[in-house]
Structure 1
Amino acid sequence: MIQAFGLTSNPRKELPPAADDVSFEARAGRVTALLGAPGAGKTTVLRLMLELQQGRGITYFRGRPLHRIPHPAREVGVLLGDVPGHPARTVRGHLRMLCAAAGVPVRRADEVLETVGLASLRDERLGALSRGMDRRLGMACVLLADPHTLVLDAPAQGLSGRESNWLHGMLRAHAAQGGTVLFTTADPKEAARAADHVVTLEQGRLVADQEAAEFSRTRLRPRVAVRSPHAARLAALLAQQARTSQRSVEVVHEGGNRLSVYGSTCADIGETAFHHGVVVHQLADEVGDMGPGAGAAREGAPDGCRDLERDGARQTAVERHQADKAGATEPHPDAGSAVAAPLADIAEPRPTIGSSPLIEQHPTADAPEPAGDAHGTTTDAPEQAAAAPDPASESPEPVSHASAPPSAEPVPSAGPVRPAAPPHERPGVRAVGRPCDAAGTPQSAPAAPPHQAEPHKAPSTLQNHPAHRAHKPRTLDALPPLPPPISVRPAPSPLRPLRYEIRRAAGVGTGSLTGAVVLLVSAVTAVVLARIGHTPQPRLLAAWPQELPLPPAAIGAGLLGALAFGDEFRHPALAADRGTVPRRLGLLAAKLLVASVTAVVLAVLTLGCDAEVLYLVYGPELARIPADWLAQSASWVGLVVGCAWAGVLAAGVFRSTTAGLAAVAAVPVLVVPVVHKVLAGPSVPTAAGLPMRLREALLPRWPFGGERYLEAALAVISQPVGGALALSLTALLCAYLLTTLRSRFR
């Protein structure tokens, strides 16, 4: 069950908010449609519900807000837009990766593929899927963690009739199993056909909350679709015949040779066309939409006039209930001026936000239902608010009607009793469905019947009367509080970061292609350097000429590291539940570990490939191993791994693969000259003899000669490139932690 209260987006400069005080419910076991024209605020409402956009309000999913649910993907399945995934990834590989993110067994991927009918396309690339297959994959991603609630934004947009029927059948089947389904649409006919409950939005505000049958009766009406090459002549004939027979027939020219005729039948139109010799190509009954303005107030009319100006004067459910209770067979002549409650309050009881858990109040048959305020909290009726006597005004002894003084002012019986200010006059409360007069002003409640007047009340008793107590001016303390702010919080996924990162990196061929290119470029560069000569042996094996800031292996490792975060921001893989790539430290550690292993493998393969090529071309002299191979190997591995880490951190901070690669290239181009300049100063002491002094300071010998590895690491850091790389990594790590903490505590 979804309960949304007071969803309001932040104002957009001088424009009204995209969502303004939207409150509704989507019950379990039912399909709820959020209907609205493009720009009505449907997507904004969903993003506010899912805490993807800042604003105000609160949304409960089975009694808990989203940020209080430990694993949101297992409670709420979300599909906003297209399927977020790399186009080169396979369908099965994408779902297996999401299985690791959601923490479900990998066999679940094959199960949902069978459910949505994509078992035969499991090896197909995401970029090769059609629109219908993409929607099926989206449903597979949504159902992967077996959530209770499904939230989908325009899932049937652009689908054929067959695919739309399949999708709506899937939603209906999920609701039949006890789940909650909420989807948005701009087509009223789709909402009436596929949903059990319809919530209508217009310009960011809720204008109707109805059952599907009530929505179809008030919003949709039958029509006859006509196609004729003489559409204009037929329209004139139908209008003339309607005037002659004094019938209400509306003819709408849809453009081209098509007409939509409201208020007539296929038989009448066919006879008219036959008698006048008009050729007709199509004559079919349809259900037509009353237009985007249906269900809203007239242009310029106040908010209180909405919902009752649709299709003329429509009797509300409250009026029908009152008429049935009174035993009347026909509506009262003044029934149109009765105060109408919002349709959301008529359809089902509205919950009250109080102390946890959420308590639902069900109205009785004799008492009117409490009206909800603008923020989703329940405001008691005036009679209920005045049920408790006021100690300050109550007399010690009750005064009977017989002992009332003759001068007591009676309650007038002719005028309406207004126990409280109308909803449209209260701060923060908007009346929906209040009847309007001819001038467009919302009317008040009808006059009380004469037998309900109490003209012999004593003054002390009148002071306790709800009508008198409600006339007290409201102070600022009595105003309803604003709904709580909505903060965008990071997603807790992936639940298995290392497994997720391995599947993400191995799911596309980018890593293999990059490694092959690096090996080829490195081998060619080593052969050219050996041909030219005057290149030291370590640089020759690494294919690192003096003119290049970094060797090809380091650039390739930096590119693979930058792709670790950059690919997710371009093709989000974790957007299935929250729509954003998380900045969890566990995910960062997994990415750094996978990038390190990839970089080490690439460094070893590069050295081996260069040595083998040099041996084949020039013989064993140029392929010999240097004497200080341990220190050189440590420097080489540290350089490649450091570049990979710089790419990962920079892409995570700046959310771009290009920025990650630029940060890798900036180390030798910008940072190394600065370090050279600082170390070249005459007043700066040098670190010569550091290994010897370190050996003297560390009196106990390390086991297995561990001091040698420490000396090699310090020797790498003491070099200009190593120091610059360590400085850059420290700065990027601090920036990443700063952005992570800022997003977590804002």
Structure 2
Amino acid sequence: MLQAIGLTSTSRRYLAPAVDDLTFEARPGHVTALLGTRGSGKSTALRLMLGLEEGRGITYFRGRPLHGIASPAREVGVLLGDVPGHPVRTARGQLRMLCAAAGVPVSRADDMLDLVGIAALRDARLGSLSLGMDRRLGLASALLGDPHTLLLDAPSRGLSPREHSWLFGLLRAHAAHGGTVLYTTADPKEAARTADRVVTIDKGRLVADQDVADFARTRLRPRVAVLSPHAVRLAAALSHESRAARRSVEVVAEGGNRLSVYGSSCAEIGDAAFRHGVLVHQLADEIGDAGPRAAPARAQGSDDLTGAVLDVPAPGAAPAPGGAVGRGLTAQDTRASRVLPDGVQVPHAAAHGTAPRPAAPHAPGHPPVAPHPVGASSPAGHGSTAGPAPATPPLPGPRHGASRAARAPSQPLQPLRYELRRLLGVRTTHLITAAVLVSSAALSVLLAYAGRTPLPDLLAAWPRAWPLPPAAFGAGVLGALSFGDEFRYPALAAARGTVPRRLGLLIAKLAVTAAAALMLGGAVVVLDAQALWLLYGSDPLPVFRNWPAVALSWAGLLVGCAWSGLLAAGTFRLTTAGVAAVLAVPMAVLPLVQRAFASPSGRSVAGFPARLRELTWLQWPYEVDRWLLAALRALVQPVGTALTLSLSVLFCSYLIVGLRSKVHR
């Protein structure tokens, strides 16, 4: 069960809070609609439940707050707006990356693509997906961890009628097997057709919490949609006859040539139009919104609707998803409807291709069986509908409930695999690598042609006039992107919220960026050596004597630049901040360090390995002494000292920001 208690958003100056003391619950085995007009606070309420919005109140998911759940993706599935992923990442790559974050098998990505009917678009880029396909991918992301609760913000917005029926058929199947479904909508007729319970809010406050039958009886009423080129004349005639006959007939002009007539019938309106010689193009029975009303007196604790003003679609227009509910329009609508009090008919869930819900909810620990949606599409391209979809497979994998004995580790559950998929899933990494290799080879050849450049600088393609070689700058950019893209295209947050500052995630990012930087530096050295051998000589390049110190210095420079970009982007949540930190090391920190080292020193670290061996009583091969001295000499160089100082400051800043965010939670 989902219980929202006292949700209140932080109000701005002179403005009322978007959500004010909102309390309601969504029961397992039911589909609950959160109904309200645009700006009523529906989306803000969902964000408050997920901790993405500052405010007060608490939400319990099966008795536990979200921050107390070790694996949120396995308890709550979320769809807020578009899929928050990098636009050049493929649909399959996005789901595989989320599989690593949720700790589920990677095969589940393909299962979810088949389930939502976009298996043919698994290699399509996120930026090229249509609105309907993006909604399907978002639903696949929400179902990836096999959650018990689904929170969906306007899931049917912009969908075709077929996709609308398929979507709510899938949600109905999830609820039929013990799951909890809460979605927002602004259409009361959609809520009456697809939900079991309707929670109505207006201006952030609770208006009513009703069963769908009570909601339809108190909120919806029959009307006649009229389309006539002389709508004004017909409205005046109907009003005059109703007053003369002392009948309660309400005529509402919907704009243009359309009228909505409440309290009459098609036959009576047709007779009146014939008597007055008014041409009528359309007469249709519909169920419309009752509009704003005064709050009725409560009796015996009933929760009647106190009146939230909702939009009424124009009668006579083509029925859109969630539009007016016609009576007697098609045989399917007549068969798949349940009659409510006052003669109001609301289509049953069977009209959306779902089986009847069992009497008792299915145990949450059992895997649910997906429905066979009616009218679902199996697109071959990027359109919204393209014929019937094949039978969908059952949702695989166990449902992880609150009865698990051991708590799962913090998110992401597989940080190293997640980070590798994040790094290699976009072409930006490959473009940066190619640019670094090409520019390094060209610079190395030009420096060798000009002469007077030491061999280490030739292999590194580092002109002395430049603050950094291309390889170091490229490693810094990769490090900055590894955390900057998390805030620009968040994959670990439900929407564009905060990225969790986990120690495992940070260690994985540091390890992957360091490995990428070392591989990039090694490739640059090998490529430059081959280019120099190809153009300027057939003899192999000589090996310089102090190659261990040079190799360690080169590796330290690359890893230091990568980590500087990573930590700066993670601290300031900007990729540009990471790139600026990489450039600040040689351009701002290095001159200060050089001034500090301007005076000669009378101390030496030549005997450090022997003294360290005596102090620790450890015995190691004497070859290790050479590497220790090389590391120390690289560290005491101005560039090494500048990198060390920068990394220390950035790491401390990252820790302070991370601890501060945890305290605020």
Question: What is the TM-score when the length of structure 2 is the normalising length?
Answer: 0.80
Secondary structure of the residue aligned to 1:25 is strand
SS in structure 2 of the partner of residue 243 of structure 1: helix
Give the one of 538, 542, 546 matched to 2:460. Answer: 542
String of CA shifts for 1:125-175, please: whole Å, max 9, x gaps.
Answer: 111111111111111111111111111111112222222222111111111
Per the TM alignment, residue 616 of structure 1 is displaced from its structure 2 partner at its CA by 1.4
Distance of aligned partners of 1:22 and 1:697 in 2 relative to their CA distance in 1, 3 Å threshold = closer
Match of 2:656 in 1: 738
Q: Contact between 1:152 and 1:184, CA under 8 Å: does it hold in 2?
A: yes
Q: Is the 1:113–1:140 Cα contact (8 Å) retained in structure 2?
A: yes
Say if 1:91 and 1:123, in contact at 8 Å, map to a contact too: yes
User: For residues 687 and 17 of structure 1, what CA distance do their matches in structure 2 show?
Assistant: 67
Q: Deviations for 1:224-249, whole angstroms, at most 9, x for unmatched residues?
A: 22222222222222222222222222
Contact 1:523 1:609 in 2 (8 A): yes
Which residue number in structure 1 is paired with residue 477 of structure 2?
559
Q: Does 1:580 align with 2:495?
A: no
Percent identity, aligned pairs only? 63
Residue of structure 1 in register with 2:120 after alignment: 120
Tell me the residue number matched to 2:574: 656
1:519-574 residue CA offsets vs partner (Å, 9 max, x unmatched): 01111111221222222211111111011100000010011111111111111111
Q: How does 1:289-688 map to 2 (within 5 A)?
A: 289-291=289-291, 311=293, 314=296, 316-318=298-300, 346=301, 492-576=410-494, 579-620=497-538, 623-681=541-599, 686=601
Give the Å deviation of 1:273.
Answer: 2.5
**Whole-angstrom distance in 1 between the partners of 2:211 and 2:490:** 37
Report the counterpart of residue 88 of structure 1 in structure 2.
88
How many residues were matched structurally?
556
How far apart in 2 are the matches of 1:197 and 1:95?
Answer: 32
CA contact (8 A) 2:447 2:458 kept: yes
1:454 corresponds in structure 2 to: none
Letter in 2 for 1:132: G
The one-letter amino acid of 1:618's match is Y
How far apart are residue 696 of structure 1 and its match?
A: 5.2
**Structure 1 residues 658-711: Cα deviation after superposition (integer angstroms, max 9, x where no partner):** 1111100100000000101111147xxx26532245545644663261111111
Report whether the alignment pairs 1:63 with 2:63.
yes
Change (3 A) 1:75 1:347: farther
Per-residue CA deviation, residues 500-521 of structure 1 (Å, 9 max, x unaligned), is: 1111111112111110110011
Question: Do 2:2 and 2:25's aligned partners in 1 also have CA atoms closer than 8 Å?
Answer: yes
Q: What's 2:129 paired with?
A: 129
The one-letter code sitting in structure 2 at the alignment partner of 1:668 is P
Q: Could you tell me which residue of structure 1 aligns to residue 191 of structure 2?
A: 191
Deviation larger for 692-701 or 26-35: 692-701
Are 2:9 and 1:9 equivalent residues in the alignment?
yes
Residue number in structure 1 paired with 2:45? 45
Determine the C-alpha separation between the residues in 2 that align with 1:73 and 1:505: 22
Q: Structure 2 vs 1, CA of residues 347 and 679 (structure 1 numbering), >3 Å: closer, same or farther? A: farther
1:363 paired residue number: none
| Cα-to-partner distance string for 1:465-495 (whole Å, 9 max, x where unaligned) | xxxxxxxxxxxxxxxxxxxxxxxxxx93101
SS in 2 for 1:669: helix
Contact 2:80 2:495 in 1 (8 A): no
Q: Following the alignment from structure 1 to structure 2, what is the Cα–Cα distance between the partners of residues 212 and 687?
A: 86
Equivalent position of 2:148 in the other structure? 148
Residue of structure 1 equivalent to 2:333 = none
Q: Which residue of structure 1 lines up, in the alignment, with residue 285 of structure 2?
A: 285
Quickly say closer, same or farther: Cα 1:575–1:677, change in 2 above 3 A. Answer: same
Query: For the residues of structure 2 that align with 1:201 and 1:314, how far apart are their CA atoms?
Result: 16
SS at the partner of 2:64? coil
Corresponding letter in the other structure for 1:739: V
Q: What do residues 428-458 of structure 1 show as CA deviations (whole Å, max 9, x unaligned)? A: xxxxxxxxxxxxxxxxxxxxxxxxxxxxxxx
* Structure 1, 192-201 or 724-733: larger mean CA deviation: 192-201
C-alpha displacement of 1:578: 9.4
Are the counterparts in 1 of residues 7 and 58 from structure 2 also a CA contact under 8 Å? yes
1:338-376: CA deviation from partner (whole Å, max 9, x where unpaired): xxxxxxxx479xxxxxxxxxxxxxxxxxxxxxxxxxxxx
* Aligned AA (2:245): S
Aligned residue number for residue 365 of structure 1: none
Query: Is 1:691–2:609 an aligned residue pair?
Result: no
Deviations 1:388-434 (A, max 9, x none): xxxxxxxxxxxxxxxxxxxxxxxxxxxxxxxxxxxxxxxxxxxxxxx
What is the one-letter code of the residue matched to 2:287?
A: V
Runs of at least 5 residues in structure 2 that lack an aligned partner in the other structure: 304-408
For 1:693 and 1:33, how far apart are their aligned partners in 2?
71
Contact 2:18 2:41 (C-alpha < 8 Å) held by counterparts? yes
Q: Kindly indicate whether the alpha-carbon contact (under 8 Å) linking 1:614 and 1:622 is maintained by their aligned counterparts in 2.
A: no
Structure 2 CA distance for partners of 1:607 and 1:234, relative to 1, 3 Å: same
Coordinate RMSD, CA, aligned? 2.0
Alpha-carbon separation, structure 1, partners of 2:211 and 2:612 = 81
Is residue 638 of structure 2 the alignment partner of residue 720 of structure 1?
yes
Provide the TM-score with structure 1 as the length reference. Answer: 0.72
- Secondary structure of the residue that 1:703 maps to in structure 2? coil
Which amino acid in structure 1 is aligned with residue 567 of structure 2?
Answer: L
Kept in 1, the 8 Å contact 2:26–2:182? The answer is: yes
Query: 1:612·1:623 contact (CA, 8 Å) conserved in 2?
Result: no
CA distance in 1, matches of 2:138, 2:603: 62
Distance 1:562 1:132, change over 3 A: same
In 2, Cα distance between equivalents of 1:273 and 1:665: 79
Q: Contact 1:77 / 1:577 at 8 angstroms: preserved in 2?
A: no
Structure 1 residue 277: Cα displacement: 3.3
Distance in 1, matches of 2:526 and 2:544, equals: 14
Q: Is the 8 A contact 1:211 1:347 kept in 2?
A: no
**Does the 8 Å CA contact 2:70/2:411 hold for their aligned counterparts?**
no
- The 3 A distance-change label for structure 1 pair 203 and 692 is same
Residue 586 (structure 1) shift: 0.6
Q: 2:100 — aligned with what?
A: 100
Q: In structure 2, do the counterparts of structure 1 residues 24 and 347 end up closer, same or farther at CA, with 3 Å as the change threshold?
A: farther
Q: In the superposition, relative to structure 1, how do residues 77 and 696 fare at CA in structure 2: closer, same or farther (>3 Å)?
A: closer
8 Å CA contact retained: 1:29, 1:175:
yes
Task: Report what 2:237 is aligned to.
Answer: 237
Q: Cα–Cα, structure 1 residues 654 and 279, in superposed 2: closer, same or farther, change >3 Å?
A: same
Cα pair 1:149 1:179 within 8 Å, conserved: yes
SS in 1 for 2:100: helix
SS at 1:691 equivalent:
coil
In the alignment, the residues of structure 1 paired with residue 294 and residue 602 of structure 2 have an alpha-carbon distance, to the nearest angstrom, of 90
Counterpart amino acid of residue 689 in structure 1? S
Q: In the alignment, residue 505 of structure 1 is paired with which amino acid?
A: L
Q: Is contact 2:609–2:625 with CA below 8 Å preserved after alignment?
A: no
Question: Does the 8 Å contact 2:77/2:142 carry over to 1?
Answer: yes
Match of 1:301 in 2: none
- Change in Cα spacing, 1:313 to 1:128, as seen in structure 2 (3 Å) is closer
Between 1:198-207 and 1:230-239, the stretch displaced more is 230-239
CA distance in 1, matches of 2:134, 2:235: 43
The whole-number CA distance in structure 1 between the counterparts of 2:532 and 2:558 is: 21
Give the 3 Å change call, closer, same or farther, for CA 211–674 of structure 1 in structure 2.
Answer: same
What pairs with 1:70-81 in structure 2 (closer than 5 Å)? 70-81=70-81
Match of 1:253 in 2: 253
